[in-house]
Structure 1
């Protein structure tokens, strides 16, 4: 009798955790992401040794889920490395894989740059943006469920 009550209690807690998870994902998608926006050609503090305290984060896209933070890095023929941190609107560059992470992209006229995408607030401050909080929470939820339901 006592065991059955415990199982019911565990189901209630797991159900509550799933509701909170879904609520968090929904809020993350609906709210505007905030990203750093700068170029090291305009302000050297935006370069390789980024000084975040010198920049104010910008809201991207007024709540649109079609924005990510991005870091773009390109090396010029003279060796200069240009770095830009931006709010990136998904679908802007044809043929570019826009999933979180870094990858090189070359356009039809030979322009090549490294693009790093991320989906959490202020994640474009480093040279390699942090993974999405949603992926982290998914892992935590999976571990929690596997603990209660082996």
Structure 2
């Protein structure tokens, strides 16, 4: 009777290890964030009314976790608003809070811009999209259920 219970526990541990391995592989595969890169001074479709279908997102940093998507917005003295969407390497601008969200930053010579950071694929199009996270979470829950109850 004890050996039978030990066998069941061993099978359960193997299932748990499979789940953990799948999650680890999934996180490794999706670690490269994809962001839009453009400037409205070069292409007006990158401006306030962003036309994502005109741009191809770029894979940032070859899997480095030190990248986020960013949107930079600055108003020139003549009233023109410059907008840039980029792969942002963390630590690039000294003193800037790089947590997800938007904030103004001013450098030593008085240049001021609004920076918005986000950490999911294609998120610098202007609206927050968490569909990628939701998809991975749903997949993980489904696989966990399958391995535990089948």
Contact 1:36–1:85 (CA<8 Å) still a contact in 2? Answer: yes
Q: Which residue of 2 aligns with 1:117?
A: 117
Q: Which residue of 2 aligns with 1:97?
A: 97
- The structure-2 alpha-carbon separation of the partners of 1:23 and 1:113, relative to structure 1 and needing over 3 Å to count, comes to same
Structure number, greater radius of gyration: 2
* Structure 1: gaps spanning 5 or more residues: 1-7, 142-150
Contact 1:38–1:86 (CA<8 Å) still a contact in 2? Answer: yes
Q: Which residue of 2 aligns with 1:71?
A: 71
3-state secondary structure, aligned to 1:77: coil
Q: For residues 121-136 of structure 1, what are the structure 2 equivalents within 5 Å?
A: 121-126=121-126, 128-130=127-129, 133=133
What TM-score results when the alignment is normalised by the length of structure 1? Answer: 0.71
* Structure 2: gaps spanning 5 or more residues: 1-8, 142-150
Distance 2:19 2:97 in 1: 32
3-state secondary structure, aligned to 1:62: helix
Q: Which range moves more in the overlay, 13-22 or 97-106?
A: 13-22
Q: Which residue of 1 aligns with 2:108?
A: 108
Contact 1:70–1:117 (CA<8 Å) still a contact in 2? Answer: yes
Distance 1:98 1:119 in 2: 11
Q: CA RMSD in A?
A: 3.2
Distance 1:103 1:25 in 2: 29
Contact 1:37–1:84 (CA<8 Å) still a contact in 2? Answer: yes
Q: CA deviation at 1:11?
A: 9.5
Q: CA deviation at 1:133?
A: 2.5
Residues 9-30 of structure 1, C-alpha deviations (whole Å, 9 max, x = no match):
x99988876665444333333x
Distance 1:78 1:11 in 2: 66
What TM-score results when the alignment is normalised by the length of structure 2? Answer: 0.71
